[in-house]
Amino acid sequence: MLKEPRACLGLRESRISRGKALGGTSAIGNLMYIGGLPEDYDENGFVQWDGSIFRDIFMHLEDYTGSEQSYYGHGKGGLLHFEDAVYNESAKDMLEVHYIKVGSKRMPKRHSLGMISHFLMTKNGERYNMAKVFLTPIKDRPNLFFSKNTLVESIQISEPVDKRATGVNVSINGIRLSLRARKEVILAAGPINNPKLLLLSGIGERGYLDKLKLPYKAYMPAVGKYLQMHVALPIYVSLNRTCPTCEPEVYNETTLYQDTFEYILQRKGRFTHTGVNNFVNYILTKKTGTTLPNLSVQHMYFRIEDRNLLAWLEAMDYHPKIAGRLLSVNKLNPMMMFLVTLIHPLSRGELNLNETHLLGDPSIKGAIFSDEESSDFDTILSGFNYITNLTTVMDDLAAEFMDIDIPNCRNYKFCSMRLVELLFHILFTVTV
């Protein structure tokens, strides 16, 4: 991603994760199964594909083996297996108790606000990604072929009248080939590579394609535009090391070995789930004329000297000073991270081809907080205030909002409005 003026500045490098594997991002995601709400599909602009149609499709695909039902219920016997998260972690109970104190409730059926424990896409203690769901059952079909180490470089477009997709141009281990389609070409490369491939194939705004000396095939000026970044603000809170509900024991090498052997031998234990991460609170912090949430709050709990914290910080690529501060606190205290995520961003970014190397990673302008009325910024700020209020009722746990030593912010009073704005420098994107 290109450098953002108001976000992601606390990261050494702004990146968007992509699942370069069979199954795509389901091979690297947080395991949660979230089917969405009917309203999410009603707003996609296609009347023929509204929420009721998607609900019927999901019911046909799903294979839920548990007893808990949410919203319209779930299907059984399909390919898409998911199940209840089975773990005993008192941090979740602690969160629920304190959320209730600030007005949140367990999410009722057919409602969209409140606390919920999402199902996990796991089976027999292992990640159950989309490749296992849909490709494994048909892998022995004689007319199905997989090509590894293959990069699609462009889509073949017929000329001059119908402009149909007739095949793809690929590179397999550096050898370029043209593959022809007998029936149709399905473009399913994700929100980053889909527009990249369309532009490389000559589908987009003509002036832009001419500038890059790409052959023009079809006029679609919106290709690469209107990119939605669902940004997230991590808020770190330290807890009393002796709090009775926080499992404050030190997570040392012995515990790590025990967890590892338990998983290898029995496919059980801490490595089979994501802890409190699947426990999510959906909140509405602004009057919008709807009962749909505008923010979600996910959680990560780190025990004292938790090895998972270092892995998390390395994955997020935080500035060394921020990472050092968090690791220092975790030597003595457990920590809870509240991940406040913007559900319906109004800001729109764009994707352009890499002008130096067209086949390279595209140039992405997130344009975070660029909407004219600053609604996205105000919404995230309201989420910050919500968590601040929550910590005030967590006094029994000695909850303390952490000053994480953001670079270039030391001259501002802790929790002043200016420092809060600078706190948004550690924002990162979770989905696009």
Binding residues for FAD: 25, 152
Token reading at 292? 């749909």
Q: How far apart are CA 74 and CA 54, in angstroms?
A: 12
Q: How far apart are CA 213 and CA 366, in angstroms?
A: 25
Token couple for 130:
């989309």
Neighbours of 364 (CB within 10 A): 21
Rounded CA-CA distance 30/127 in Å is 10
Please report the DSSP string for 85-122 in residue order: -----HHHHHHHHHHHHTT--BPPTT--SEEEE-EE-E
Count of C-beta atoms within a 10 Å radius of residue 226: 11
d(CA 171, CA 179): 10
Token duo for residue 231: 């940004």
Instruction: Specify binding-site residues.
Output: 25, 152
Which residues does residue 219 pair with via DSSP β-bridges, in sequence order? Answer: 204
What is the SS3 assignment for 36? coil
Of 80, 97, 67, 76, the closest CA to residue 35 belongs to 80
Listed in sequence order, the residues at least 6 apart from 257 whose beta carbon sits closer than 8 Å to its beta carbon are none
Q: In whole angstroms, what is the distance from residue 176 CA to residue 167 CA?
A: 14
Confirm if 189 and 152 have CB atoms less than 8 A apart.
yes
- Tell me which amino acid residue 156 is: Q
As given in the structure block, the two tokens for residue 5 are 């003026």
Task: State the amino acid at position 387 in one-letter form.
Answer: I
